[in-house]
A and B are shown apart, each in its own frame.
Chain A
């Protein structure tokens, strides 16, 4: 217990110019840093991958170490949609609506085989991967994946958030991507 107070890690400052009393860096890096370390996930859990996410959220694996302290059950306040589990075709409009309600910038992780590709449920009633209805940033393989893998997926999203250009969400490429999914 006594060591734990000394062993506190804080995020390193981005590249910049430092002198006595000032520190100068680019706005993009500061925003990237802030976004990276405060990704609020919206857990969309439908099956066993959701159980693994509960372990990921719990004290042992502790997703809050990565700034995802607050799972947001309101899409308006969420940055990251985590789809965990089989999405039936009847559920697909719900996932899409949740995604549409999220504010930009927003990221999506498909956790597990079912969310990524339909998994073993190669059947007429199951959506064959959520990338059929919303754009996906990171795919986490596994059936179900272990909490370590889900955390690794979150860290990949952190990399994306840190390095994303501030103008990306306004770029024609991004607008074309959304248009290809018939979103907005």
Chain B
């Protein structure tokens, strides 16, 4: 089988069903689709184990916050790479902000450990089963998750930057 986006998507849908894989698009030529919390870990395990695909490298994981999307406020993006075939794919999982729980990926990729800590640090996403889910970059006693969009980027204690000149 030639590894085109269409072929791989067909193979994944055949395995997991049309109900669990949807919204497939190809921005920048990288296949992107959505799945749900129940499917994400078996899916990544399947991509890892499959002899034809051999997707065995986790390029990155990133949290995203869309405050205006009701019950789909938070998103976790997984970017995977088959080094054997130089084939990339991007998977997104949306979930509500009042239930920000995802299963951990650390049992498949050890590198997910720090990436999940980062997503927890900045977005408050809780990864169930993670061995050490603590903040990784921000100060330990920080009381919020700063990349959520309700929090301002700027330091609120700065006195010299006033609205007149800096438009804050």
Contact = CB atoms under 8 A, between A and B. Distances in A.
B158 A125 contact: no
Contacts of B139: 89-90
What's the interface size class on B, roughly? 10 to 19
A128 B158 contact: yes
B155 A126 contact: yes
B160 A125 contact: no
Contacts of B155: 118, 122-124, 126, 128
Interface stretch (B53-61, B93-101, B125-133, B146-154): B146-154
Interface size class of A (residues with CB under 8 A): 10 to 19
B158 A124 contact: no
A117 B155 CA distance: 12
Contacts of A128: 155, 157-158
Interface of A: 89-90, 117-118, 122-126, 128
B158 A122 contact: yes
Interface of B: 137-139, 146, 151-155, 157-158, 160-161
Given A90-B138, A124-B152, A125-B138, 5 more contacts: A89-B139, A118-B158, A122-B155, A122-B161, A128-B155
Main DSSP-derived SS at the A contact region: loop
A60 B158 CA distance: 38
Contacts of A122: 153-155, 158, 161
B161 A124 contact: no
A123 B154 contact: yes
Nearest to B147: A124
A90 B137 CA distance: 9
B162 to A, nearest CB: 12
A74 B100 CA distance: 46
B160 A124 contact: no
